[in-house]
Copies of this chain bind each other. A is one copy, B any other.
Amino acid sequence: MVEHRGLDIMSTPSSSSPSSSNAEKKLFSKLKVSLTKKYPQKNAETLSAQYGANLLLIGVSVMLALAQHGPAVKKEHLLAFITALMLVQLVWMLCYMIQSERERSPVPEKDAHAGTSWIQGGLTMLALLSLIMDAFRIGSFVGYHSCVSAVLGVYPVVHALHTISQVHFLWFHIKDVIKKYETFERFGVIHAVFTNLLLWCNGVMSEAEHFLNNHRRRLTALGYDNVSTVEAEPNCNCSISVCSMFSTSLYYLYPFNIEYHIFVSAMLLVMWKNIGRTLELHSNSKRPSMRSPGLLLGPLLGLLALASSVTVLVVYLIHIEKSQQTREAAISMFYLYGVVMLSCMCVASGAGLLVYRLEAWPMDTGSNPSRTLDTELLLGSSLGSWLMSWCSVVAVAAAGPGSPSFRWTCLVYSLLLVLEKCVQNLFIVESLYRRRTDPDDAPVPEVFSITPAPVVPPYDGIVNRGYETQDKGCATLEGETPENRAAFSRKHSDVTLPVGNQLSVIHGRKRQILKNITIFLFMCNISLWILPAFGCRPQYDSGLEQETFGYSVWTTVLNLAIPMNLFYRTHSVASLFEVFRKD
């Protein structure tokens, strides 16, 4: 790195006029030039991240004021703010699309890892459900239009427009690696990220409010509580007949809308991280997906899990509304079901990790912002439900002798929940970071039994990287230590030829086991998403934790943890699908 030192010195200004005032004049003219020049990337990132964070915080502070149900801040204000943000995003997306249409380069740079086609398909489905929700909202507005603010009509229209153009944008531009007008585009993308995050927060808040109102109504009916509900019902009668249908159906569509927005913001965040990046060529190659034989046990068990959780959901929702005794029975049933489910998942993930331990497959250390984000999001979103679990454990430990019968099952369930997320995270992270080692894809090992000489020259410690792009350095993050390299060369010398067909069979069997485990975990995570998403939340109903933590603290913890847990489940579903396709 000696040459950089030299260049350092040369970067001092090169003007050298004799008089001081002349130098100052030059200085000012230079300032003008500097200000119009490209802004350093690090600063542009910091600046745009700060802009986005503040957008979100403004929205959150309005939401906090709304939660107080005071006279000054109303739902309309929040919706007007969000509508404005969506309009700005619409304008930016339009500009971007027109621009990229006009300046279409022959081979635009694309990040193949960002937004695979099946994720785009899933998103389109979620977007369709969001559109139905918008239609219901518009219908509801038409019914009540005489007594509600016009904002409640404008918002769903803009939201529908926003959804359609955003899906279009994601289909055609999410893989773009932006190289022009970087600072401007950076602001546009981060604006889109945080607009979607705010829409997610808004969805989560509306849903939590609705759920809490339902919960209170139920408690009041049972005689526990006499707090009046504060549902924001309009003050006039609906002019069309299907209004109640609209508002009931809305709450079944909420979970999908919520997941839609959080997924879009994660995808856009990857796009933001890709701005100005220089791609490695090899990391960008697409591989054909292949058929997977021997998939039987995993999907079968997964379907069983799915079916049983739908059953549990229905039974729970019916029984929880009834007397104290059926209530407790329903909660016990849920916890027992959870214990069985989570044990199976722990065993499956553990087995997967064991299979990986059997092989010294190298880790893939290529640059991949999408994967890094996946890992961070998995770990980050686990925190919410871990906190919830530990609170349950503390509550069980603190509970007196008169506490409900399900306390010990609850304890086991909570501890298993912590363990399951730990092991599953490890499994997913390891799967994502493993190199693909499909015999169909690369030259199969048998090739080596015929041609003993390796196809590439042996690694001799020298790689001439002079002509490679400098930027890709960020790729080789942790894995590629010299020691790893030593492992490479060791393996290289280990290859005792000939390698037989046997090997391919064993290899294939391992892949088969991993695929079955992955598909099983995939369906289990869907099951565990369905339950809380559609109202099976025993943490609210059991009353065990509420005794120790008090109503307000425990509700706050749940309102934070449950959305994070829902996101964790959908995100691990997405990651497991990625693993399934790759393995």
Partner-B contacts on A (CB < 8 A): 1-18, 20, 23, 27, 30-31, 34-35, 37, 40-43, 45-47, 49-50, 53-54, 57-58, 60-62, 64-65, 67-68, 70, 72-73, 276, 278, 280-282, 354, 357-363, 375, 379, 382-383, 386-387, 390-391, 393-395, 397-400, 418, 422, 425-426, 429-430, 433, 435, 437, 439, 442-443, 445, 447-448, 454-457, 459, 461-467, 469-482, 484-485, 488, 491-492, 494-496, 498-500, 502-503, 505-507, 547-550, 552-553, 556-557
Contacts and interface: CB of A to CB of B under 8 A. Distances in A.
A84 B486 CA distance: 41
A128 to B, nearest CB: 34
B46 A379 contact: yes
A478 B57 contact: no
Given A64-B557, A457-B3, A57 B383 contact: yes
Contacts of A3: 456-457, 459, 463
Contact of A43 (B65, B426, B470): B426
A437 B15 CA distance: 16
B1 A549 contact: no
A508 to B, nearest CB: 11
Q: How many copies does the complex hold?
A: 2
B467 A9 contact: no
A463 B461 contact: no
A549 B66 CA distance: 8
Contacts of A499: 12, 14, 16
A246 B6 CA distance: 60
Nearest to A53: B383
Given A57-B387, A393-B61, A442 B43 contact: no
13 contacts: A7-B492, A8-B437, A9-B447, A12-B359, A12-B445, A31-B357, A40-B433, A42-B363, A57-B387, A61-B394, A70-B398, A464-B466, A473-B474
Instruction: Give the 8 A-B residue pairs with the shortest CB-CB distance, closest first.
Output: A462-B466, A473-B476, A72-B398, A6-B456, A61-B390, A61-B391, A470-B480, A473-B473
Nearest to A5: B442
Contacts of A399: 72
Contacts of A398: 65, 70, 72-73
A481 B9 contact: no
A353 B485 CA distance: 43
A45 to B, nearest CB: 8
Contacts of A8: 362, 435, 437, 442
* A360, A361, A472, A556: most-surrounded residue (chain B CB, <10 A): A360
Given A9-B445, A442-B5, A479-B40, A506 B61 contact: no
B358 A34 contact: yes
A463 B462 contact: no
Contacts of A480: 470-471, 473
A465 B477 CA distance: 16
Given A40-B363, A42-B479, 14 more contacts: A3-B457, A4-B362, A9-B442, A10-B491, A10-B492, A14-B495, A16-B499, A31-B358, A35-B357, A53-B379, A65-B549, A70-B547, A469-B482, A470-B485
Given A14-B495, A394-B65, A478-B41, A47 B2 contact: no
